[in-house]
Amino acid sequence: MLRMQKLLSYLLMKREGSLLIHFYRLEHQEEDLKKKKQAEPVLVRLQRMSDARHSDDYALNKSLRAKLRSQKKRVAEEEAASRKRGLGIRLLPASDQDAAAAAKVKFSSKFDRNRKDKRALINAAPIFPGLSVSSMSGKRRLELESKRRKISASTASSLLAGGYKPSSWPQGAVLPGRQKGASVNARH
């Protein structure tokens, strides 16, 4: 008996629920139809405007040519700027990120190099100047050390490889092996 009552109450609730759903649909269906009728003229007008805008071939071609002209002009300006800077490639336009990254870069200046050279000279100098044999020879030694530091590796290697003829050689001197039958004049 209890089971029958539960089943009967369930069926009634289900029937009432389905009736409520149907009434809800009917009420809101009318509102949806009203909204559709109100929005229809706007949609039709937008569709007509879109059709008119895209159906005119002349207007489309005109806008496309204007875009291409402005693009060509921008590319020509970028190439002129790169030629002015002596670059063989076209640079992209500058951005805020580029400016921030460039601001973070620190290049070593001549001041920093001079300061490092002076510190190296100070470190190479004796602590007690009175102990050196000759103060003049110490200064001369420091000057020579600073000059050695300034000589570039490429210059030194070309000197060692024989790329230069020392000025102390006599004018008529010829290196052996360069000309057949030639002899080297030697001083006695």
Domain boundaries, the chain: 1-55, 57-92, 108-151
Question: How far are the Cα atoms of 25, 94, 106 from residue 114, in angstroms, in the given order?
Answer: 89, 34, 17
pTM of the model: 0.30
Enumerate the H helices of the chain as residue ranges. Answer: 2-55, 57-84, 96-104, 110-124, 135-150, 153-160
Picking from 91, 72, 71, the residue whose alpha carbon sits closest to that of residue 81 is 91
Each of the 188 residues of the chain gets a pLDDT tens digit; together they read 677 777 667 766 776 666 666 677 777 788 888 888 887 888 888 888 888 777 778 888 999 999 999 999 999 998 898 888 888 888 888 899 999 999 998 877 888 888 888 888 888 877 776 655 555 577 787 787 777 777 766 666 666 666 555 555 555 555 554 444 444 444 44
